[in-house]
A and B are shown apart, each in its own frame.
Chain A
């Protein structure tokens, strides 16, 4: 089945700097790659996603890139703000299996 690896597990950045989180997946049949943000005491919430027919997608300060050949995808957050502090999960969907999540990255934005 699908396996998703996510790095780093923790990330601290200064406010205004960029943050990058990277994920790899194992199943070449996977075709949908969402990113979820989990704030303290809440459930994960979708923030951006990308499908396998697209290489990059941007939404204001966040962007996701996908390299199908290398089977990796990344989340980029620019001009980080304290409210970006949260746990971020990447995930992959392929075939008939539900979303498989990475282990998460705890992002801390230091003011």
Chain B
């Protein structure tokens, strides 16, 4: 158990809809990262928050947004969903801003029909 909690574990929705994925980081970790894992695409970095502020942005679509709340949990919002958004979405946390070791949750599997 990494200490990172993600909900929901599975989500099935239709194209055009909006969903919210939630992540609670390990106790004491200030950084939260979101990664997308699609078939044969590895782990694509989406966005990082540190202590409530956005610190780095990767290949995150404009239809996607995220935030980190004062209690350090984070939410990833995906809107106007398309079939291609079907993927595993991982949240990870780390103690510092640029530390190497990330602790991953078990992921949220999104299926868009």
Q: Do chains A and B interact in one complex?
A: yes
Number of contact residues on B: which range applies? 20 to 34
Judge if A97 is at the interface, Cβ distance under 8 Å. Answer: yes
Q: How far is the CA of A98 from the CA of B102 in the complex (A)?
A: 10
Q: Is the interface of B mostly helix, strand, loop or mixed?
A: loop
Cβ of B58 and Cβ of A89 under 8 Å apart? no
The 8 Å CB contact of B41, one of A44, A45, A103, is: A103
> B residues touching A (Cβ–Cβ < 8 Å)?
2, 4, 33, 35, 40-43, 45, 48, 56, 58, 90, 92, 98, 100-102, 104-107
A73-111: which residues lie under 8 A (CB-CB) from chain B?
Answer: 89, 93, 96-104
Judge if A42 is at the interface, Cβ distance under 8 Å. Answer: yes
> Smallest distance from the beta carbon of B25 to chain A beta carbons, Å?
13
28 contacts between A and B (CB under 8 A): A9-B40, A34-B100, A36-B104, A41-B106, A42-B106, A43-B2, A43-B104, A43-B105, A45-B2, A45-B104, A46-B101, A49-B100, A89-B42, A89-B43, A93-B98, A96-B56, A96-B98, A98-B45, A98-B48, A98-B58, A98-B98, A99-B33, A99-B45, A99-B102, A101-B35, A101-B43, A101-B45, A103-B41
